[in-house]
């Protein structure tokens, strides 16, 4: 009778131990699935952030002033510096937030913990099989179970933190460390998410401005600089007329980069003409440039000075 009682007690203990093993395995499976999702999320955030930061800098890097001026015209901004400053600032924010997010994700090394949890899960599976088929004594199996459980205390701690996060019972407040950890996890997603959304908005606005700017440029009259004759000699008098500029704006003229006399403001037809010019330059080819101070439009032409003889 005593032998039967001992055997029944052994069976009960074995079933209880097996139940704990299976419960612990379920916790590990949940933990691994959650940590893999968290790790993948951080990796995806880093990839997306880097792509957005690169996309923000493509225009200013490859297009230079022409790109920023086109976007400026499309968005109706007063200065094209607003364009590249906004793009550079947004790219900086996205890069910094992505870097911070990546460091927060690495602070608890999810890859190492996942590997440890999976190894413990495999050991528990083997132990559970031995317990189920009575390959080990309950005492030895319980001791082995304790060793395995000690290696993955972080699983229980993480599960307890999640339980606090979703608990509606205000009788017991979670410890400060769990509160900090909870907010840290939120920051891992919220901060980069906001940066990504902000970057996408700025990128979309820039693309819209670029498209509209090309439309504005296509509708604008082509600026030109016309001389009264293609070539001159020393002492000749000629005129230079700039066309296709904004009415009322000032157009600055230059000769091979050097300043020339001021012209009157652009008339209603978009033209302005320099005062008569007396040619005194040595024979050769020169470049005249006219640039609108408000529109930014530029026109150039070549001037040839012939020898006097």
Alpha helices, DSSP H, located in the chain? 2-75, 81-106, 110-132, 138-150, 153-166, 176-219
Residue 208 pLDDT: 94
Q: Regarding beta strands 224-227 and 251-255, do their DSSP bridges make them parallel or antiparallel, or are they unpaired?
A: unpaired
Average pLDDT over residues 102-127: 80
Element of type H or E holding 233: strand 231-233
pLDDT tier, 250 (very low <50, low <70, confident <90, very high otherwise): very high
**Residue listed under structure tokens 């302005």:** 272
| Residues 232 and 97: beta-carbon distance below 8 Å | no
Residue 95 pLDDT: 86
Q: What is the mean pLDDT of the chain?
A: 83
Q: State the Cα–Cα distance between residues 70 and 80, nearest whole angstrom.
A: 8
Q: State the Cα–Cα distance between residues 258 and 273, nearest whole angstrom.
A: 18
Model pLDDT for residues 79-110, shown as the tens digit of each residue = 888 999 999 999 999 888 877 777 766 666 67
pLDDT tier, 249 (very low <50, low <70, confident <90, very high otherwise): very high
Q: Regarding beta strands 284-292 and 298-306, do their DSSP bridges make them parallel or antiparallel, or are they unpaired?
A: antiparallel
135: its two tokens: 């390959």
Q: State the Cα–Cα distance between residues 55 and 200, nearest whole angstrom.
A: 10
| Residues 255 and 280: beta-carbon distance below 8 Å | no
Average pLDDT over residues 118-146: 85
Residue 157 pLDDT: 67
Q: State the Cα–Cα distance between residues 108 and 89, nearest whole angstrom.
A: 30
Average pLDDT over residues 189-193: 79
Q: How many residues does the chain have?
A: 309
Residue 263 pLDDT: 92
Residue 47 pLDDT: 85
- Find, among 96, 67, 97, 98, the residue nearest to 83 by Cα: 67
Does position 155 have pLDDT exceeding 50, yes or no?
yes
Average pLDDT over residues 14-24: 87
Residue 266 pLDDT: 94
Q: Regarding beta strands 298-306 and 231-233, do their DSSP bridges make them parallel or antiparallel, or are they unpaired?
A: parallel
DSSP state of 117: H
What percent of the chain lies above the pLDDT cut of 90? 25
Does position 5 have pLDDT exceeding 80, yes or no?
no
Of 172 and 227, the one with more pLDDT: 227
Cα–Cα distances in angstroms (integers) from residue 261 to residues 102, 117, 276, 277, 309, in the given order: 59, 81, 10, 9, 28
Does position 290 have pLDDT exceeding 90, yes or no?
yes
Biggest CA-to-CA distance, the chain: 139
Cα 104 from chain centre: 17
Model pLDDT for residues 135-151, shown as the tens digit of each residue = 778 888 888 888 888 88
Least confident segment among 38-47, 50-59, 151-160, 284-293: 151-160
- Find, among 242, 251, 265, the residue nearest to 293 by Cα: 251
| Residues 74 and 213: beta-carbon distance below 8 Å | yes
49: its two tokens: 């952030």
pLDDT tier, 166 (very low <50, low <70, confident <90, very high otherwise): very low
SS3 state of residue 224: strand
Predicted TM-score (pTM) of this structure: 0.58
């Amino acid at each position: 009778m005593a032998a039967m009682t001992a055997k029944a007690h052994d069976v009960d203990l074995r079933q209880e131990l097996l139940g704990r093993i299976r419960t612990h395995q379920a916790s590990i499976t949940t933990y691994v699935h959650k940590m893999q999702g968290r790790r993948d999320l951080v990796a995806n955030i880093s990839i997306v952030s880097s792509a957005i930061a690169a996309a923000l800098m493509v225009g200013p890097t490859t297009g230079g002033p022409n790109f920023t001026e086109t976007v400026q015209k499309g968005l109706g901004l007063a200065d094209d510096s607003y364009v590249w400053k906004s793009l550079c600032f947004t790219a900086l924010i996205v890069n910094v937030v992505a870097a911070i997010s990546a460091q927060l994700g690495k602070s608890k090394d999810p890859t190492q913990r996942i590997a440890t949890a999976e190894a413990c899960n495999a050991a528990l599976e083997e132990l559970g099989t031995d317990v189920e088929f009575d390959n080990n004594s309950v005492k030895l199996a319980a001791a082995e179970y304790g060793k395995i459980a000690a290696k993955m205390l972080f699983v229980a701690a993480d599960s307890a933190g999640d339980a606090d996060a979703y608990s509606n019972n205000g009788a017991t407040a979670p410890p400060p460390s769990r509160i900090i950890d909870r907010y840290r996890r939120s920051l891992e997603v919220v901060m980069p998410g906001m940066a990504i959304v902000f970057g996408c908005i700025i990128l979309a606005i820039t693309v819209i401005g670029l498209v509209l700017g090309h439309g504005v440029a296509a509708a604008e009259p082509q600026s030109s600089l016309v001389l009264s004759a293609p070539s001159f000699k020393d002492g000749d008098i000629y005129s230079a007329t700039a066309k296709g500029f904004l009415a009322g704006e000032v157009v600055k003229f230059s000769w091979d980069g050097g300043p020339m006399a001021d012209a009157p403001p652009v008339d209603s037809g978009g033209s302005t003409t320099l005062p008569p010019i007396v040619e005194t330059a040595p024979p050769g080819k020169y470049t005249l440039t006219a640039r609108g101070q408000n529109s930014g439009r530029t026109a150039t032409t070549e001037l040839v000075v012939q020898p006097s003889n």
